[in-house]
A and B are shown apart, each in its own frame.
Chain A
Amino acid sequence: MHEAAPVLQDFPLLFLVPLLPLIGAVWNGLAGSAIQRRFGRAAIHVPAVLLPAGSFAISLWAFLALAGQPHGTALYNHLWTWLPVGTLQADAAFLMDRLSGVMALTVAFVGTLIHVYSIGYMRDDPHYWRFFSYLNLFMFAMLTLVLGDNFLLMFVGWEGVGLCSYLLIAFWWRDREKAAAGMKAFVVNRIGDFGFILGVFLLFWGLMTTPASRPVAAAHGGKAAAAQHEEGGAGTCSATGGTSVTFRCVEQLLQDPVKRDRLVNHDIAGVGLITLVCLLLFVGATGKSAQIPLYVWLPDAMAGPTPVSALIHAATMVTAGVYMVARTHFLYTLSPVAMTVVATVGALTALFAATIGLFQYDIKKVLAYSTVSQLGFMFLAVGVGAYWVGIFHLMTHAFFKACLFLGSGSVILGCHHEQDMRKMGGLRKLMPITAVTYFLATAAIAGFPFFSGFFSKDEILWKAFDSGNILLPGGGMILWAIAAVAALGTSFYMFRSYYMTFSGEYRGAAGGAGGPALQAAGTDPAHGPHDAHGPHDAPGALDAPGALDAPGSNVGRGPLTPPPDAPGSLDAHGPHDAPGSLDALGSNVGRGPLTPPPDAPGGHGHAHVPHESPWSMTGVLAALGFLAVAGGYVGLPHLWHLPNAFEAWMEPVFAGTAERVTSAGFGHGVEWGLMGFSIVIAFGGFFAARWLYKDAANPVPARLLASGSRLVQGVHRVVFHKYYVDEAYDATFVKGSLGLSRALAFWDTRVVDGLVNLAGTIGCAFSFLQGAIDRVFVDGMVELVGRAVQDAGARIRRIQTGRIQAYVQGLALGALALVALAYLLAW
């Protein structure tokens, strides 16, 4: 068996990779407000960009150092012991092996580029400092996740990226919707985290030497393990403990057949322990990587600034689940059930999200569903045991999806924060760099041959087809079929987004509808010369026909609320068939009738005129566009008999479990055939989208929806509303837990506290009764005597008037009476 535990090579600077961005985050977070006020934006973004760049440089250095080491070496950096309790030993330690090396490099590289891009994108935001602080914090969390040496440290990063995601989605918190989107992301992620952490608990428990050990023994064992830890030095796996939570130690422990049997053959409620562990971990992955059923937060997450969408919700954070599954491949390969689940969920998500993507109009929503779909592809790859392919696609996806998102950001900025593709169009002339890079990245994601996405996605499809690990009827082929349909959809909707955005005519001028602008341009010839000296009038001719149909296409694409006046305006433009006037018309729409030509690209403040973005953005786009094309050449297919550098690099990481990943044994002929089919799919989607959306002249989509059968409309409505999943979750889980909480609160105040108060009331009533008895019977006798005396006194005291005459009178009468008495007695 392959030696699983890597040889550790101390690399004391590794901690700087996550630490540098953290410094930036803390610095800008605490002092950024004052710095920005006093020294301007440059003082914010220079450290904020340089520090992640520094961490990229160090990861590159480490990566090169790693490359110089023999296979099975990993760079290690132990900082301190974080949670040393009993038998548990979790360190704050970072480990870079070949897998985490690729991840760290990708994250740091794309992250740095997006920092640069943000300089341009966020330049008008008053909370510039806060944005960069959060971005840096995210880099810290993500790199901790990637480089963390054990499950718990990974969980730190895992939750950390969730927090940053929350902070950044809700970055424009004044908008209630955006703040709510952030909250949703965090809470849904927490559901995933709940699964993840339970999986870790279960694993920890399952790996304990004797689960029925007494605490005493455990305590002493803990001491022994700690002692051993001291002796062996940081980073070694204790042979006796069996309770470590580091990845490599768990992998090493699983080499032990006794332990492995305990995990594999131990059933809990009919499910194998290992399967349960893997599935729970996968729940975490579905949360973080937006898979069914927890994908709902990702489309909403588009509320964040676009660089955030590119960095967090496309290139890095959402791939954490894929990374985690690859990282724990030694667990997943032990459980065919779990692998089948992973692959199936991945394939279904790919298809599901792709169908939703077909009908979205918000450019970022399209990209969001595309991301969900592509992540599904990655899970399909890791689910069939093709870990390196999953990571390969993760990397190429990071390049082309970041490029797409940043391109969309450039478009959005150019169109003044307009995200609806129905209000774009024709931007190729105005934003050429953005258009070209967007096209390249679209070609990559669609899987055009020789673009990066082709290599990775085709390999996924082939591996799925060829997998022997899938427990479904039909094996991997059924997953392949699902994924192939998803790939077709991907190609279609991505080119749809490209054509709606960049070709045809600009439809966003003069606020909302293209109609009035068209009318103004068409009926007022005075604008002709004005537009003639605009720099972009020549290409305008190409797209001129589209302008005429723009209102018409609005009818087609606005499925539920077609503008009623659109046919009228279409008629009004009927006469304008001359190329010259069309030309004028087209560019006029683009710029709006009264604004000067955009001779300063990147200049800001031209109302309604889309413009190309500043160099900090276009430069990043160009770099990513290049990688979107070229990034795939590190992983060429075997079929071509060319060296596959990526697989060779990754091979040692997964070698320990490679024997458990089986192939269905299809031959080269089948592989060639599938590759050809992939190309057909990619071009099929492309031509379909081009035919339907290139210049908005094609009435098919409109007609289909306008006149289509009830079935078509019904399907469209359901898909357009994302299958009503959000609504269903809202009605069940959200409303359910809110209702439960209200009920419990009512129960608490009325019943539990009610009982307490009732006890109080009963106590009071009882004491009142007791008091009454006391008053009536016991005190009665005493009071009777007292009251008698009192009454007598009250009566007698009336004699005591205080008037001397009365007394004297009494005295005299008394004396007289005595005298009379004396006489009477003497008588």
Chain B
Amino acid sequence: MTIGLPQFLVVSGALLALGLYAIVTRKNAVAMLMGVELVLNAGLLNLVAFSRYGGGLDGQVFALFGIVLAAAEAVVALAIVLQVFRAQRSVDAAKASQLKE
């Protein structure tokens, strides 16, 4: 069995599904963040895969930017989570509702 585009896409779809599942089901903000990372990486995997099978180098460049961006995003998100934890001794996203109307 040759590894072709469909295999990449299946892996990417699985990652997306796993990520979404994590976001929706987990209460822990860190876990949710990890879910977001999975979804993001599913997208990046698709970009690289489509670039390798048919496109130019654009997709790979875009994926590299995406990885850098993801790192920054993770830093910011973790800092927020840390602050939330400091404020209420918990990282439960459902409890961070003081700003709700």
Contact = CB atoms under 8 A, between A and B. Distances in A.
A-B complex is real: yes
Interface of A: 802-805, 808-809, 812
Contacts of A808: 20, 23-24
A809 B94 CA distance: 14
A809 B22 CA distance: 11
Nearest to A801: B100
B20 A812 contact: yes
Contact of A809 (B24, B97, B99): B24
B97 A802 contact: yes
A698 B20 CA distance: 139
A815 B14 CA distance: 15
Q: Which 10 A-B pairs have the closest CB atoms?
A: A802-B100, A808-B23, A805-B24, A809-B24, A812-B20, A808-B24, A803-B94, A802-B97, A804-B93, A805-B23
B23 A804 contact: yes
A805 B31 CA distance: 12
A644 B32 CA distance: 141
A812 B39 CA distance: 12
A131 to B, nearest CB: 87
B83 to A, nearest CB: 16
B10 to A, nearest CB: 16
Contacts of B20: 808, 812
Interface residues of B, number: 10
Interface of B: 20, 23-25, 32, 93-94, 97, 99-100
10 contacts: A802-B100, A803-B93, A803-B94, A804-B32, A805-B25, A805-B32, A805-B93, A808-B23, A808-B24, A812-B24
A598 B23 CA distance: 126
A126 to B, nearest CB: 82
Contacts of A804: 23, 32, 93
A90 B82 CA distance: 104
Contacts of A802: 97, 99-100
A243 to B, nearest CB: 91
Nearest to B19: A808
A802 B101 CA distance: 9
Contacts of B99: 802
A606 B45 CA distance: 135
A57 B3 CA distance: 153
B100 to A, nearest CB: 5
A686 B43 CA distance: 148
Nearest to B94: A803
A805 B24 CA distance: 5
Contacts of B23: 804-805, 808
A189 to B, nearest CB: 85
A392 B24 CA distance: 130
Nearest to B100: A802
A812 B21 CA distance: 10
Nearest to B39: A808
A473 B92 CA distance: 127
Nearest to B21: A812
Contacts of A803: 93-94
Nearest to A806: B24
Nearest to A802: B100
Contacts of A809: 24
A805 B100 CA distance: 15
Contacts of B24: 805, 808-809, 812
Which of B23, B97, B99 gathers the greatest number of chain A CB atoms within 10 Å?
B23
A820 to B, nearest CB: 16
A803 B97 CA distance: 8
B79 to A, nearest CB: 17
A804 B20 CA distance: 11
A804 B96 CA distance: 11
B94 to A, nearest CB: 6
Contacts of B93: 803-805
Contacts of A805: 23-25, 32, 93-94
A291 B75 CA distance: 118
A756 B24 CA distance: 73
A803 to B, nearest CB: 6
Given A802-B99, A802-B100, 12 more contacts: A802-B97, A803-B94, A804-B23, A804-B32, A804-B93, A805-B23, A805-B24, A805-B32, A805-B93, A805-B94, A808-B23, A808-B24
Nearest to B26: A805
Nearest to A811: B20
A623 B82 CA distance: 120
B29 to A, nearest CB: 9
B41 to A, nearest CB: 16
Nearest to A800: B101
Most buried by B among A803, A808, A809: A808
A57 B82 CA distance: 115
A626 to B, nearest CB: 112
A186 B94 CA distance: 93
Contacts of B32: 804-805
A809 B23 CA distance: 9
A704 B93 CA distance: 121
A798 to B, nearest CB: 12
A809 B24 CA distance: 6
A671 B86 CA distance: 134
Contacts of B97: 802
Nearest to B35: A808
Contacts of B100: 802
Contacts of B94: 803, 805
B25 to A, nearest CB: 8
Nearest to A808: B23
A437 B99 CA distance: 111
B30 to A, nearest CB: 13
Nearest to A815: B20
B101 to A, nearest CB: 8
A804 B94 CA distance: 8
A812 B17 CA distance: 9
B85 to A, nearest CB: 17
| Most-contacted residue by chain A among B24, B94, B97, B99 (CB, 10 A) | B24
Nearest to B27: A805
A813 to B, nearest CB: 10
A464 to B, nearest CB: 111
A805 B94 CA distance: 9
Most chain B CB within a 10 A radius of its CB, from A803, A804, A809: A804
A809 B25 CA distance: 9
A812 B23 CA distance: 11
A229 to B, nearest CB: 93
